[in-house]
Chain A
Amino acid sequence: MAAVAEQLRDADAALIAAWRGGQESAAAALVRRHTDALARFLAAAGAREDLDDLVQETFFRAFRNIEKFRGASSFRTWLMAIGSNALKDHRRRRRVTVLPIEEREIEDRASDPQAQTLERDLLDRLQAQVVSLPPMQRDVFLMRAQQGAEYAEIAAALGTSVGAARVHYHQAVKRLKTVLE
């Protein structure tokens, strides 16, 4: 697992170097490699009909600020931190309000016939609860749960300490466990 992660990092580093050197196809390759993970992260964090735009905006910001990427975290985790900021900016601009759990459940069930299953119901509840977490708790939790990222990497990407990242994660888990009870 660690070896695979290391290989992915090396491949990303090579593509980033190529992009910095002016090779446009390298940036396109980076987009293709990370679009799915980034989209899942953003959707889990609450992006909906604006998901496409947010994914593009995140990559655009990342490439425009590529010199700030020092490799302290993986490129993917760094992208997610940028995506989280883009989501926050987007919500501020659009004044998007997060719907309360009950309202979201009704909407989701209405638009998804498979939502009758227990698993789907749990996912919906969990999704609503994740969205309602404080942003730092949400980001740390998702980076760890979806990407298996280490605390040090998460801390570097989010500009916090390892200890604080650990606390955020445990706080998030504590709150999210109520969904399973």
Chain B
Amino acid sequence: MNGNDRTTEARLVRLASQLGEREAAGVDAQRTAWAVMARLRSQPAARRAWWSRMRLVPLAAAATLVLVVGLGIRELTQDGTEEQIAVPIEFAELPDDALQEVLDSLALDAPVSDLVPVALNELTESELTALLETMEG
């Protein structure tokens, strides 16, 4: 690039920096701020997509596993007999409301129905096991 080119480019840039000035002068920043804030208030952010909520499923599953195992250990320490240990890991056998109750008892921030995009009892046993295994490593 020679000196002449640089001069031309500098002139071009100087002119370009003036483009849109007239039109922009008609845009009121304060009015724009009000309009944008009003729209943000009237159109709340859309709920997160189901796949982003899916990230919480392993967390819920892990918490459930801890709870269930904890219940089992308590049964063991109370009764002292191995035969009477009933660790209810057969989630698929739990009815909807019971499963919901267990998960809700974990005091998660969001309702379980928000965290889990599909009913857990719709999963097969192997799918549930796989889900739990992801948390156990």
Contact = CB atoms under 8 A, between A and B. Distances in A.
B36 A56 contact: yes
A70 B11 CA distance: 34
Contacts of B98: none
Chain B contact-residue range equals 20 to 34
A94 interface: no
Interface of A: 24, 27-28, 31-32, 35-36, 39-44, 47-48, 51-52, 55-56, 59-60, 63-64, 112, 122-123, 126-127, 130, 141-142, 144-146, 173, 176-177, 179-180
Across the A-B interface, the 3 shortest Cβ-Cβ residue pairs: A43-B20, A43-B23, A39-B24
Contacts, number: 106
Tell me if A's interface is mostly helix, strand, loop or mixed: helix
23 contacts: A28-B36, A32-B29, A35-B33, A36-B24, A41-B20, A43-B19, A43-B20, A43-B24, A48-B23, A51-B23, A51-B26, A56-B35, A59-B32, A112-B22, A126-B15, A127-B19, A130-B16, A141-B16, A146-B16, A173-B9, A176-B16, A177-B8, A180-B8
B16 A39 contact: no
Contacts of A126: 12, 15-16, 19
Interface of B: 8-9, 11-13, 15-24, 26-30, 32-37, 39-40, 43, 45
